[in-house]
Amino acid sequence: MMGIFVVCLMLFSVLFSLSVVLRDPPSDAAAEASATTFFQVKQSRGMIGVDNAFSGSVEFLRDEHLGGLLAAGFDEQSCRSRYQSGIYGKGLSDKPSSYLISRLRKYEALHKQCGPYTESYNKTLKELRSGHFSGSSSACKYIVWISFSGLGNRILTLASAFLYALLTNRVLLVDPGVDMIDLFCEPFPDVSWFLPPDFPLKSHLNDFNQQSARCYGNMLKNRSVTNSAVPSHVYLHLAHDYDDHDKLFFCDEDQSFLHNVPWLVMKTDNYFIPSLFLMSSFEQELMDLFPNKETVFHFLGRYLFHPTNQVWGLVTRYYQAYLDKADEKVGIQIRVFDTRTGPFQHVLDQILACTLKENLLPDINQHQDIISSSGKQKSKAVLMTSLSSGYFEKVRNMYWEYPTVTGEVVSIFQPSHEEYQQTEKQMHNQKAWAEMYLLSLTDVLVTSSWSTFGYVAQGLGGLKPWILYKPENNTAPDPPCRRAMSMEPCFHAPPFYDCKAKKGIDTGVLVPHVRHCEDMSWGLKLVEN
């Protein structure tokens, strides 16, 4: 009888457990969400951002695909940053629109169909080699981005070229230059975005200029632009020294002609996206892609630019060693456009005036050796980036020699000090890319006026920085800085032209979401209304 009783008890327990599990099965919506969620639970020791209470158990959640922004199907080992960036960062600052996500998936399909060495690509190369366009309708049209200028400029202009490709249904092909392959992983699945070494125009890319026969501005001057004779390729000169004819690229009428050209070759050092928002032919599409206007580079940057494993190692090792355990991380990016040898006292005065005035850093107490504080002291890790080590050393010594008035512990770090910009040096650019990324992982950010280095960091991190005004006459400006209107970069050399009226106009007052920049009065930037 005792045996029968035990068996019955066991059966009852099993039936009761099954009834609990099956009583309320998940809805279809929940099941679908479970199947499509990109959050994965990992178990590991010493991972970033883990509360001590969870040590040895579930360590973190990571959104590997950034809410659908990134495509699946990549090999994690080949590009660890694509899958691990969510561990170190704060995720996206906003949710990408479903339309943006769908357009990115469509673009990836187009790139797979038309990318290097595909049947469609090989077909269009025949016309490119001949120099004549047969007029046959091809599903594949291209824009070739020329590697040009410093790293910050290259990142911003590549994002601009990609958005233009997205708007015009073109395939973006990237000139690898001397180091692009060493800096960035492939962003599109299955097919490379790098221009093949046997591309017919590859040896001539650096020779394109405003006097080139196929330069669009030059063609307009010579009145050789006709819809009856469409060339196989056109060069677009959109660098800072472009003239009024080159700037007609931003007119809808000129886009109608360029739409028919199978190969566009672009050289630029400008983040020209703000002016695309002023073109009626792109207006509705851009509104659908980016309901929040100030997220354009934030989303495109996180989609396109994934550090290679070598650069990612620089990022993660530094973050774990110096920034990980701080309660707050402050980034200070210093770019001085003075050709004399620094550091300069007025620049240091400006940095301290800004960070102390805006309560980004605590003041020091020069009258006491020790400040007593109850409980755990709050820690701040300050990441400084500069070509010079002088500013870092002075700020570090200040917080070493004196206690803070708040009792906070302030640590100052600077990964490198290369002394001068070395654009063509591989390790220099790898360190620069790593430092941009590290700055994007901070909680608050201070940047220098006119610096594309700072623009990249703020955009990737989804941060509205405090911008240091450009000093004049060796004097720290008063006020020293101001908070940015948005996290968007500034377009330094926009056109001031009304395409319809054929006259000059202030393009910074036409629409509420395109305004003049805080750090460059004639520049344009995107802001949320």
* pLDDT higher than 80, residue 309: yes
As a whole number of angstroms, the distance between CA 7 and CA 401 comes to: 75
If one counts every other C-beta atom within 10 angstroms of the C-beta of residue 198, the result is 9
Which 8-state DSSP code applies to residue 77?
G
* Residue 388, both tokens: 């010079």
- 468 beta partners: 448, 481
Confidence at 368, pLDDT banded by 50, 70, 90 = confident
Distance CA 376, CA 52 (A): 15
pLDDT exceeds cutoff 70 at 134: no
Quote the pLDDT of residue 15: 58
Can you tell me which residue has the tokens 């579930």?
A: 58
Q: What confidence score (pLDDT) does residue 358 get?
A: 97
Q: Is the pLDDT of residue 45 over 60?
A: no
pLDDT digits (tens, 9 = 90+) for 314-358: 999 999 999 999 999 999 999 998 878 778 999 999 999 999 999
Q: Residue 408 is encoded by which pair of tokens? A: 């906070």
Burial 135-167 (b: 16+ CB within 10 A, else e): eeeeebbbbbbbbbbebbbbbbbbbbbbbbbbb
pLDDT on residue 47: 37
- Cβ neighbors of 122 (< 8 A, separation 6 or more) are none
Query: What pLDDT score does 8 carry?
Result: 64
Q: Give the start-to-end residue ranges of the domains of the chain.
A: 95-291, 309-526
Name the pTM for this structure.
0.87
Q: Any idea which architecture 309-526 has in CATH?
A: 3-Layer(aba) Sandwich (3.40)
215 contact partners, CB below 8 Å, separation of at least 6:
208, 209, 234, 235, 236, 237, 246
Do the Cβ atoms of 113 and 89 come closer than 8 Å?
no
* E strand or H helix at 418: none
Note the pLDDT of residue 42. Answer: 35
Measured between alpha carbons, how far is 191 from 414 in angstroms, rounded to an integer?
Answer: 38
| CB-count burial class (<10 Å; 0-12, 13-18, 19+) for 439 | buried
What's the token pair of residue 143?
A: 């824009």
Residue of higher predicted confidence among 431 and 123: 431
127/260 Cα distance (integer angstroms): 14
Both tokens of 162, joined, read 């990609």
Residue 341: per-residue pLDDT: 76
Residues forming a β-bridge with 385? 333
pLDDT in tens, 150-165: 999 999 999 999 999 9
Residue 295 has pLDDT above 60, yes or no: yes
Interval 269-285: pLDDT, tens: 999 999 999 999 999 99
| Angle made by CA atoms 387, 389, 395, in degrees to the nearest 5 | 125
Amino acid identity of residue 486, one-letter, is S
Task: Give me the helices (H) in 225-279, please.
Answer: 252-258, 273-276
Residues in Cβ contact with 29 at an 8 Å cutoff, skipping those fewer than 6 apart = none
pLDDT above 70 as % of the chain: 84
**Count of residues making up the chain:** 529
Query: Which one-letter amino acid corresponds to residue 315?
Result: V
Q: Longest C-alpha distance within the chain, in Å?
A: 107
Residue 522 CB coordination number (10 Å): 15
- Under the banding of pLDDT at 50, 70 and 90, the label for residue 416 is confident
Helix (H, G, I), strand (E, B) or coil at 82: helix
Mean pLDDT of 414-433: 81
Burial of 358 (0-12, 13-18, 19+ CB in 10 A): middle
pLDDT tens-digit readout, 47-73: 333 333 323 333 334 567 898 999 988
> What's the rounded mean pLDDT across residues 186-196?
96
Mapping DSSP to helix (H, G, I), strand (E, B) and coil, where does residue 231 land? strand
Say how far apart CA 362 and CA 359 lie, in whole Å: 6
Residue 30 has pLDDT above 60, yes or no: no
117 or 17, greater pLDDT: 117
Mean of pLDDT values over 28-38 = 35
Confidence of residue 496 (pLDDT cuts 50, 70, 90): very high
**CA dist., res. 343 & res. 349, Å (int):** 11
- Give the tens place of pLDDT for each residue, 441-492: 999 999 999 999 999 999 999 999 999 999 999 999 999 999 999 999 999 9
| Average pLDDT for 237-253 | 97
Distance (Å) of CA 180 to CA 145, 176, 398, 455: 12, 5, 39, 19
Q: How far apart are CA 184 and CA 311, in angstroms?
A: 9
CB atoms within 10 A of CB 311: 23
- CA angle centred on 337, ends 528 and 323, rounded to 5°: 65
Q: To 10 degrees, the CA torsion angle through 262, 266, 270, 272?
A: -10
462 sits in which H/E element: none
- Residue 397 gets the label, from left (phi > 0), alpha (psi -120 to 50) or beta, of alpha
26 or 467, which is more confident? 467
How much is the average pLDDT of 16-41? 39
Q: What is the model's pLDDT at position 377?
A: 87
Sign of CA dihedral 167, 172, 178, 182: positive
**What per-residue confidence (pLDDT) applies to 87?**
84
Determine how many CB atoms are found less than 10 A away from the CB of residue 399: 19
Q: Percentage of the chain surpassing pLDDT 90?
A: 73
* Residue 63: predicted pLDDT: 67
The answer, yes or no, to whether residue 46 has pLDDT greater than 90, is no
71-107 pLDDT, tens digit per residue, is 988 989 999 999 998 888 778 999 999 999 999 999 9
Residues 6+ apart with CB under 8 A from 498: 504, 505
Q: Supply the DSSP string of 161-187, one letter for each residue.
A: HHHHHHHHT-EEEE--TTTHHHHB---
Q: What is the mean pLDDT of the segment spanning 381-387? A: 96
Tell me whether strands 514-516 and 503-504 are parallel, antiparallel or unpaired: unpaired
Does the pLDDT of residue 132 top 90, yes or no?
no
